Chains A and B, each alone.
Chain A
Amino acid sequence: MPAGRIAYLNARLLDPATGLDETGAVLVEDGKIADFGAHLFKGGAPSVRQVVDCAGLCLAPGLVDMRVQLREPGQEHLEDINSAGDAALAGGITQLACLPNTQPVIDDVPVVEFIARRAREAKKVKINCYAALTKGMQGKELTEIGLLSDAGVVAFTDGEQATVNAKTLSRALKYAEAFDAMIVQHPEEPSLAENGLMNKGELASRLGLSGIPREAEIIMVERDLRLAAMSGTRFHFAHVTTSDALDAIRKAKAQGLPVTCDTAPHYFALNETAIGNYRTFAKVSPPLRDEADRQAVVAAIADGTIDAIASDHAPHDQDSKRLPFPQASFGIIGLETLLPLTLELYHNRHMTLLEALAAVTCKPADLLRLKAGRLVRGAAADLVIFDPDRPWQIDESQLKSRSKNTPFDKRPVQGKALMTIVDGRTLYRAPDAPL
């Protein structure tokens, strides 16, 4: 249903792609951005169906979260497309990409079509799919990269598992050239990480938990950079956490290799001490690292080595988290905390507001080649109105995600999405929004 003409007035317009930061208005017509800028409606009141006075709040492209575990199909008791949609919208996210580790695995066109249909029915956040790089994410046989690309998948990855076999991966990289597909790696050398529960080091030794060495990530990144250099395929490292892996990626980029990477908020907002007394909500894969690596991640976001920030949303219920640390599942939810945690980088003066926003809007959209994440005339009106300074406290009981496994419960943060608009329709309005 077309939403007619809506005018958003008195907004601080932010477009990280162009560096636009000015007070102005946006006109939305039939779900698309018809016009925007300081000049708009200067002559007088607009003749529209609805006027929204933004009262100086920020208006930016909706967030694009490039790494989300959806759990539908297969594990709807943890999360489904509706609950993830509500959570994403409350977090200012208008578009996301879901990992293939559903049940069944997204390794075949019908599963892609199923998720697309469910997303259309839910009418919430826009959902894109990754497809598995290998059938069943078994690391052996390639999936149908061509057919799946035509079906609209954004990239290929074995999800939370590394594609370990060097021959399989190098063939995939070669073959993917024909379809200009992107391959995404979970960079962790599995034999070094075997049985590991947290970052290897003093804290793990004190807690008596077996460690995952930093080298598990570094070795995989360094190896994969060699493999990536053998083909022209775009190669992306998911959730990079160590200074040495980031150095290797920085160098490869300088040499012109088509490699990119992302990280997740917990890798710059927390370090391994968050585990404290065996807190399973801080058990993630890759593990939280030490303070030096955390700072290296912040620096790499600031200097652009890290292209994007993704939530790495991984819903788990209490039954898989309220267990002795070694038995608990890896992963935390992140859709609703992506924006405020990313804004910490701005509030802590590591980067400008526009730079921080770019890492969750235009940059991930460009990586996945989505027409999203920027203010463009004629583009879909996927927008977020937010207050970058509003202080609030994360409260897991208020989160819309079906699973509540966040280590950020009770954390005071600054910056909140107040209204989220998809195709011109207001799908989320914060209860206390002054709009």
Chain B
Amino acid sequence: MEGLSASEISLLLDTADGYVEQNRQADKKRDLLHGRTLINLFFENSTRTRTSFELAGKRLGLDVINMSVATSAIKKGETLIDTAMTLNAMHPDVLVVRHADSGAVELLSQKVNCSVINAGDGSHEHPTQALLDALTIRRRIGRLNNLTVAICGDIAHSRVARSNIHLLHTMGARVRVVAPPTLLPPAIERFGVEVFTDMRKGLADCDVVMMLRLQLERMQGSFVPSVREYYRYFGLDAEKLAYAKPDAFVMHPGPMNRGVEIASELADDIDRSVIRQQVEMGVAVRMACIDILTRNQARPDSFVDPTETAGGN
């Protein structure tokens, strides 16, 4: 996401907007990119993102193959670069890669000559999540500029937070981060965000509240003392949300920990929560990314930079 310009982001969002309509029709499939191949290469388990990319690919007419780490040679000791070279030899058009290590997708993209989409690398970036969040906001409010967005929770380990900060800044929004100090990355203020450790102050007059998932292993003692304490001070409930603007709405990249970072009633409140819309936008945004990255390759004489990646991961 970092490095992508406002016009590039707008192009992706505009394209995705069109696919939202396509996805709502009975016949969702087009043969726009017939004959192309997309490989989902997931070194980290994920059901929703992988499914979202799979649907996106299929609805554009691509052949989609899923590779998950459990069945791949990585388990047999193959290195990331060897895996990349092997897959590259099969001439895929798009590789969608998720990896637990920051920078791993960038490394892989240097070794293949197809388009690579970063589906999340370590704590670094998750560009398509930021795009789908932006599309959700834009469709609800009609713009991204001059909005105040509070991102709350485990900022330190969150690739979603980083990609969202970059995108929202590029599009002219104000970004706040709200978290206990142990879950804020060092020098986060240098990202140009406002930093809050008091959730009520952080949510005051916000247009959008983005909640982040707190990983289970960080709940008990190492970063926060207990789930109970975390929920009390940093969990989103109706009382805390009342500090935000009256029409402010709630987002969550999923999967949610109900009763940890978000109250169950709030998550299910269709007036305040857009969590299901986010999932819907996810497919459209991923279709837009696949479309824009592969459309150029339709002309056999055109040269596509092999390191080109969605979101410039």
Asked if B103 and A207 make an inter-chain contact with CB atoms under 8 angstroms apart, the answer reads: yes
| Distance A208 CA – B125 CA, assembled complex (angstroms) | 8
How far in angstroms is the closest Cβ of chain B from A146? Answer: 44
A319→B185 CA distance, assembly (Å) = 31
- What residue in chain A is nearest B190 (Cβ atoms)? A202
Size of B's binding interface in residues, CB under 8 A: 24
Whether A433 is near chain B, meaning CB under 8 Å from some CB there, is no
B187 touches A209 (CB 8 A): no
Q: Given A278-B106, A319-B79, are A324 and B99 neighbors across the interface (CB < 8 Å)?
A: yes
Nearest residue in A to B188 (C-beta to C-beta)?
A: A205
Name, among B80, B81, B185, the residue most crowded by chain A CB atoms within 10 Å (CB to CB).
B185
Cα distance, A431 to B102, chains bound together (Å): 43
Which stretch (B28-36, B116-124, B132-140, B226-234) binds chain A? Answer: B116-124
Residue B104 at the chain A interface, CB threshold 8 Å: yes
B124, A208: Cβ atoms under 8 Å?
yes
Give the A-B contact count at a CB cut-off of 8 A: 66
B102, B107, B123 — most chain A CB neighbours (10 Å): B102
Determine if B186 and A209 form an interchain contact, defined as CB atoms under 8 angstroms apart. Answer: no
**How long is the Cα–Cα vector from A324 to B103 in the complex, in angstroms?**
6
Question: In whole angstroms, how far apart are the Cα atoms of A200 and B101 in the complex?
Answer: 17
CA distance A324 to B185 in the complex (A): 21
Q: Which residues of B contact A204 (CB under 8 A)?
A: 185-186
A267 at the binding interface (Cβ < 8 Å): no
Contact residues in B for A325 (Cβ distance below 8 Å): 101-104, 107
**What separation, in Å, do the CA atoms of A265 and B188 have in the docked complex?**
30
Measured between beta carbons, the chain A residues less than 8 angstroms from B101 are 324-327
B162 close to chain A: CB less than 8 A: yes
Q: Which B residues, 82 to 107, have Cβ-Cβ distances below 8 Å to chain A?
A: 99, 101-104, 106-107
Q: How many residues of A contact B (CB 8 A)?
A: 20
* Cα–Cα, bound, A210→B102 (Å): 10
Per-residue interface assignment for chain A, residues 183 to 203, with 1 indicating a CB less than 8 Å from any chain B CB and 0 otherwise: 000000000000000001110
Contacts of B186 in A (CB 8 A): 200-202, 204-205, 211
Is A349 engaged at the interface, CB distance under 8 Å to the other chain? no
Name the residue among A202, A208, A327 with the largest chain B CB count within 10 angstroms: A208
B191 sits at the interface (CB 8 A): yes
Interface residue A435 (Cβ < 8 Å from any Cβ of B): no
Cα A277 to Cα B125 with chains together (Å) = 13
Alpha-carbon distance between A323 and B124 when the two chains are bound, in angstroms: 16
Closest CB of chain A to B255's CB: distance in Å?
20
Q: Is there a chain B Cβ closer than 8 Å to A369's Cβ?
A: no
Residue B237 lies at the interface, judged by CB distance under 8 Å to chain A: no
Q: Are B190 and A324 in contact (CB under 8 A)?
A: no
Find out whether the CB atom of A205 lies under 8 angstroms from the CB atom of B191.
yes
A322 to B190: give the CA distance in the assembly, Å: 30
Docked Cα-Cα span, A211 to B124, in Å, equals: 13
| Separation of A15 and B186 alpha carbons in the complex (Å) | 47
Report how far A210 CA is from B124 CA in the complex, Å: 10
> In the bound complex, how far is the Cα of B187 from the Cα of A170, in angstroms?
37
Within the complex, which residue of B79, B81, B121, B185 is in contact with A205, where a contact is CB–CB below 8 Å?
B185
A49 within 8 A of B: no
A42 at the interface (CB under 8 A from B): no
Q: How far is the CB of A142 from chain B (nearest CB, A)?
A: 34
Q: Given A326-B101, A327-B101, do A208 and B188 touch, yes or no (CB 8 Å)?
A: no
Question: With A and B bound together, what is the CA distance between A242 and B81 in angstroms?
Answer: 35
Q: Which residues of A contact B121 (CB under 8 A)?
A: 208
B308 within 8 A of A: no
Q: Inside 8 A of A209's CB, which chain B residues have their CB?
A: 102-103, 122-124
Q: Is B2 an interface residue (CB 8 A)?
A: yes
Q: Does A206 interact with chain B (Cβ within 8 Å)?
A: yes
Name the residue among B2, B106, B162, B186 with the largest chain A CB count within 10 angstroms: B186
Per-position binary interface string of chain A over residues 258-277, scored 1 when its CB falls under 8 Å from any chain B CB and 0 otherwise:
00000000000000000001
A208 touches B102 (CB 8 A): yes
Q: Mark A206-225, 1 if CB is under 8 A from B, else 0.
A: 11111100000000000000
Instruction: Known pairs A202-B190, A207-B103, A325-B103; list 4 more (Cβ under 8 Å).
Output: A205-B191, A208-B159, A210-B123, A278-B106
Listed from nearest, the 3 A-B pairs whose CB atoms lie closest are: A208-B124, A278-B103, A208-B123
Chain B residues in the interface with A (C-beta under 8 A): 2, 79-81, 99, 101-104, 106-107, 121-125, 159, 162, 185-188, 190-191
